[in-house]
């Protein structure tokens, strides 16, 4: 790695895979909404107090085989995602540890999302069954069912 003089990080390849992984992991904390390249560039530039990076540069860095960023750009990206510089250097212990943590977070989020989706599907199935049953009732039966449901709701309130 060269000094922070704007020269490219030429003694190791910048990991686009890690950058994308950090975008995905950050989305978990944002209710599944991934940062845009523009949001990241704007935040980095505001924090630096000057134009350090563009959204187009971030887009290019997210593509494997893209350009090698300067030390300065890597430092700003690392600061934005709150990771050390070595996170972007494949093969280092830091890179492997951060990738493992990010993947663990993403897997936990995926399992949670699948569980919630199953619960929603089960609830929807129950509601559909109730609706089908209610359609077969006459007005008197429908009124009694509504009263029964209202009584159940009152009993379940803490």
Mean pLDDT value across residues 52-65: 95
Give residue 95's pLDDT: 93
Give residue 109's pLDDT: 86
Cα 139 to Cα 1, 114, 130: the distances in Å are: 78, 39, 15
Give residue 152's pLDDT: 86
pLDDT in tens, 69-111: 998 999 999 999 999 999 999 888 999 999 999 999 989 888 9
């Amino acid at each position: 790695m060269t000094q922070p003089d704007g020269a490219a990080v030429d003694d190791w390849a910048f990991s686009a895979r890690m950058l994308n992984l950090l975008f995905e992991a950050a989305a978990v904390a944002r209710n599944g909404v991934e940062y845009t390249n523009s949001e990241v560039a704007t935040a980095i530039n505001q924090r630096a107090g000057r134009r350090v990076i563009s959204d187009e540069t971030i887009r290019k860095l997210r593509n494997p085989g893209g350009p090698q960023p300067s030390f300065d750009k890597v430092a700003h990206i690392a600061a934005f995602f709150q990771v050390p510089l070595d996170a972007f250097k494949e093969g280092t212990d830091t890179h492997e540890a951060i990738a493992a943590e990010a993947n663990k977070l993403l897997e936990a989020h995926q399992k949670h999302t699948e569980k919630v989706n199953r619960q929603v599907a089960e609830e929807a199935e129950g509601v559909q069954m109730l609706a089908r049953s209610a359609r077969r009732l006459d007005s008197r039966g429908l009124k009694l069912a509504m009263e029964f449901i209202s009584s159940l709701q009152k009993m379940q309130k803490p």
